[in-house]
Amino acid sequence: MKTLLKVMLFIVTGGFAILLGIILFINTERFGKIPSGERLERIKKSPNYKNGSFQNLQPTPMLSDGVGLFDVLFEYFYRSKPKEPTTKLPSKRTDLKSISPKEDVLIWMGHSSYYFQINGIKFLVDPVLSGNASPVTFTTKAYDGADIYTADDIPKIDYLILTHDHWDHMDYRTLKRLKHKVKRIITGLGNGSHLERWGFSSDVIYEGDWFDSLTFNEELKIHVTPARHFSGRGLQRNKTLWASFVIKLPNYSVYVGGDSGYGTHFKEIGEKYGPFDLAVLENGQYDEKWKYIHMLPGEQLKAATDLKAKTVLPVHSSKFTLANHNWNEPLQKIAEKAMKFRYRVITPMIGEMVLLNDINQKFSEWWNF
């Protein structure tokens, strides 16, 4: 009897210790902070915030009909064996600090991180440059050759755009190291709570609701626009807003898509703000099981049509494994499907300079190495 009691006490004590460890871990700085106070009061006034959470513009189940969480976990851990690169990915490393301010260029850094400058204005989107996309360093590691940039390689940034707070888009370690380089941060409602916990001044953070417009000078307007997705860094979801962004300059317009399933919002954005010289759209980490929150192959091109985009840059691939498809499948599929559409699909290597005003610039099928 005494032995049984000791075993039970050990199990209870061990369980309590594990639970306490989890609670302490998810309250560490890297998880950010749920909005509160004046920020929460502003959020409550949003038409997109209902019953304590942000909502998509159209019904958006996390999983497809008939699919449960057990199905997803079983597939991911037991059945799925997506092929990852077996050798170092090819790349062309551009020195970002040496680019002339007179050049209009874009450099993709893998997944959804990219730098671009237009009219001498420097933008950086969703930088994840720490080697992994996870709260711990031993999971979701970048492929060999996909992580050729660090925060030290980034020049002074005029506008840092953060589309939402997921780990593969809002990287705590990268942002902490970029803090002294960023003039302004543009993001959705609530995300400033994370940033302020990480030491960013509220003076540099500009949070917007869908269809809010930010004007900083006569040359530049940034519109916060919808996406069809969700948010959350810890146990609570949808307390901060996920978004896409429209960047309007006198001679060029860019759509920053963030993460989004296909939906009616693309057509609405195209009609309100289009046409676009460039649309950056997610193209990877998809699955029929979660088809409402990430676009399936081919839907990027439907979205581009809705947006009235002249050129499409597919991102959200080639750096991390977050779904069950092979690492190079997204680029293979979009290259095949793009031949049936009238606009350009550009596929630069990680680090390769895209000349935004050169519509004849060619790119290799580098993923077929």
* pLDDT score of 68: 76
State how beta strands 49-50 and 53-54 pair: antiparallel
Task: List the beta bridge partners of residue 345.
Answer: 312
Please name the residues in contact with 367: beta carbons below 8 A apart, sequence gap of 6 or more: 318, 328, 331, 332, 347
3-state secondary structure of 98: helix
Instruction: Specify the amino acid at residue 231.
Output: S
Q: What is the pLDDT of residues 240-273, one digit of tens each?
A: 999 999 999 999 999 999 999 999 999 999 999 9
DSSP-derived 3-state class of residue 336:
helix
Domain 96-368, CATH homologous superfamily name and number: Ribonuclease Z/Hydroxyacylglutathione hydrolase-like (3.60.15.10)
Side chain identity at residue 355, one-letter code: L
pLDDT band at 354 (very low <50, low <70, confident <90, very high): very high
Q: What is the largest CA-CA distance in the chain?
A: 81
pLDDT at 158 over 60: yes
* Domain ranges, ordered by start, for the chain: 1-31, 96-368
Give the whole-angstrom CA distance, residue 31 versus residue 29: 5
Please write the tens of the pLDDT for every residue from 165-185.
Answer: 999 999 999 999 999 999 999
Q: To the nearest whole number, what is the mean pLDDT of the chain?
A: 93
The pLDDT of residue 148 is above 90: yes
Percent of the chain's residues with pLDDT above 90: 84
The mean per-residue pLDDT over the stretch 307-325 comes to: 97
Cα angle 218, 189, 273; round to 5: 45
75-124 per-position pLDDT tens digit: 766 666 789 999 999 999 999 999 999 999 999 999 999 999 999 999 99
pTM of the model: 0.94
Q: Say if residues 32 and 165 touch (Cβ distance below 8 Å).
A: yes
Average pLDDT over residues 289-293: 97
pLDDT at 289 over 90: yes
What's residue 340's pLDDT? 80
